[in-house]
Structure 1
Amino acid sequence: MYLQSKPNFSKDAGIFNRLLTFFRVPTGERRAKLLWRANLTGLFLVSWAIGDWQARTYLLEQEEEETTDNAA
């Protein structure tokens, strides 16, 4: 896709809103629904990633404790 001019992101605060502006999605109810869904999906993915990281950290700690208990 070729741009005729630089996109103006100064009015848009969020990354999802910037993407919608870049893809020229008009403002209105449809855009508001897309932003709401994108924010909800982003929140879900971030919470999943944090939970996965915590679970992996916990499992690694448990594995380290088992190896130190077996070595002693």
Structure 2
Amino acid sequence: MLYVHKDRQGQGAAGRILFELEIAAAAFGKAVVCADVSLTARPFFEHMGYETVCSKAVMRRGVELANFRMVKRIF
């Protein structure tokens, strides 16, 4: 899970964390990484090179939330 406090969004922290996670995945021989992201996180992941594979709805405490499976080829 990747969360950045609202007061720190837009400062590059999430991008740096995601980049390091992708490096670690590549070091373990992974060619593709995936993430299940919220509606509000989707533009960030698109900016980072991820593509939407499918959309789905998840239930959290009785509330249905839009969710997206996104993938990125890292090598």
Give yes or no for TM over 0.5.
no
Say which structure, 1 or 2, has more relative contact order (CA 8 Å, 6+ apart): 2
Larger radius of gyration: 1
Larger helix percent: 1
TM-score, normalised via structure 2 length = 0.30
